[in-house]
Amino acid sequence: MTADTRSALRAVRRRGLPPTSPLGLARRGLRWGRAGLRLCWRTVGDRLTGRRSEKQTGIRLRQLFEEVGGTAVKLGQQLSVRADLLPPGVCEQLASLSDRVPPMDFAVARAVIAAELGRPLEQVYTHIDPEPIGSASVACVYRARLHSGETVAIKVRRPDIPRQFSEDLAAFDRVARFAEWSTFVRDGFFAHLRKDLRIMFSEEMDFVLEARYQRLFSRSVKRANMPWVTAPKVYSALSGPAVLVTGFAEGVRGAELLGKIESGDPDTDSWLEERGIDAAKLARRVLRFSLWARFEAPFFHADPHPGNLIVTADDRIVLLDFGACGTTSRRTRLNHTQVLNLMVQNDPAAITRVMLSDLSPLPHLDMDEFSTNMDKKFHRFILACEDETAHWSERIVAGIWLQMLEVARHYQIRMNLDTVRSIRAFLLYDTLAFRIDGTIGLDETTRYLKEAAARQARDLTEGATAFSRQEQEERMFARQLEFIRRTEETTKRLEPAIEGARATFQAAASQATLAARFLMRLTLLVSLTGLAVSAGRLLGWRLPAIPWASASWPVVAIVGSLVGLVLARHMLLSLGRIETR
């Protein structure tokens, strides 16, 4: 057994991110440092040559992650999700990072599969293709055949990936803390981002969680009466933390389908017909599934890019790779449903009021200016939706939440991870639907709302019928429902005010505490310096003569002034961060 194989077997038993070794951190930190210096040099060159722009900044950051390599590419891809922190041009460039890396040694992959299985591979598999059908930074995917004759896909996690993730996150932590300490950004700017990245990386490596999401997804779409959406079967008995075995999905890849539709070839229609695909029907199904996942599903697939989607005959949709999933609260789903209804009713001012409850608690800002900006953006979006000549990119349903992201980024309002991931996921769904058929309009959304309302009414009717034998209980049940509805509406109206008042009080108290702490530390530092000087004089200490001291005092003064400015800026940024919270 080789050293790599032994390392692979140890990695199978490890879950989560391991502790970082000093040597590994130093090695990875050196690589990050070199790439960071090149980034600074290129950024200065862009400024001097007048080429500075959102897109150019995104290109430079993409080059940084590509030069660091390894799991840093995955880090860049995860950062592309944070549209609430980074401009759209930067997110677009980071999203284009290629996660294609050379495959792992097949002997190591076999060792990992066997260790997870707990018995010889020959007892389960008749053949495992040594050439992977997919090779990314986290895992490799192999095609295999069971003794039962079924073809399966085996996803094998790379043995050293937890260590690499841990080292890259530790290096990123230190770079982020230095940026905060040096006041390039406000203090605590990256705190939540660092936490969110750890959550996302841990989910990417946990194949047990991924298998659970995939099983529950198949069950949920069946209950929702959507037989045309599914996910490959999970072989739970053959899977584990480092290996995931699923059914092998065959069909047309989403990327291949879009390439053919957008190629402009005259034989596109016949190509689609040969494969049993109706583009208009498929686009409507993608959009309807997007609406269901957004407003009714217990969780959503957070990375539905075309590479994770397969289309089979009769316009059936198969979703792959459930390594990134998210959830939304009931309150958020209710708010988003209300936004959709208001969008159909052409009421931008009401949309702004609902969105404000999603963004609360808000920092101290000019609410009139904030509300006016949101009203204008939502009004322009609704006008574009009603304009049949507008490009499809202006009419996608996710556009209303993209406007909210833009406002949140402008006013530095932090949004939670699942909300940002849901907006990105539904943007991918809507973009896919409109790229397949750009003629889709709001009529499909209206149809979904009517169907959803009919389902809710049917559920209520069935519930009332169950109590029809006793009229007294039926009336009581109806009154309880009405009471609950009114209570929820009242609570939703009061929540922003309560949260805002609490946030204001906490911010004021925290600012006062921070200022007092800063003054106490400054007083202590001055006192200790005075005591040290007094003690030195009492003991007769004399400083040695320094010939260049008289000539260097301006330098000392400048350095001291810079240190003082950094400390003062640190305090101001800390006060601003408290106010924003």
- 375 as an active site residue: the answer is no
- The C-alpha atoms of residue 513 and residue 517 are separated, in whole angstroms, by 6
d(C-alpha 370, C-alpha 199), whole Å: 32
CA distance 209 to 215: 10
Residues whose CB is less than 8 angstroms from the CB of residue 318 and which lie 6 or more positions away in sequence, other chains included: 230, 231, 232, 249, 251, 309, 310, 311, 312
Q: At what angle do helices 348-359 and 367-386 cross, to 10 degrees?
A: 130
Distance, in Å, from the CA atom of 517 to the CA atom of 66, rounded to the nearest integer, reads 43
Q: Could you report how far apart the first and last alpha carbons of the chain are, in Å?
A: 54
Which residues make Cβ contacts (< 8 Å) with residue 193, sequence separation at least 6?
Answer: 79, 82, 85, 176
Phi, psi of 216 (to 5 degrees): -65, -30
* Dist CA 437 CA 8 (whole Å): 46
Q: Are 143 and 248 in contact (CB under 8 A)?
A: yes
46 CB-near residues (< 8 Å, 6+ apart): 52, 56, 60
Task: Give the whole-angstrom CA distance, residue 332 versus residue 423.
Answer: 12
Q: Is 227 helix (H, G, I), strand (E, B) or coil?
A: coil
SS3 326: strand
Q: Active site residue: 303, 315, 418, 437, which one?
A: 303
- State which H helix or E strand residue 151 sits in: strand 151-157
Give the up-direction half-sphere exposure of residue 314: CA atoms within 13 A in the CB hemisphere.
3
With 0-12 CB in 10 A as exposed, 13-18 as middle and 19+ as buried, what is 529?
Answer: exposed
Give me the active site residues, please: 303
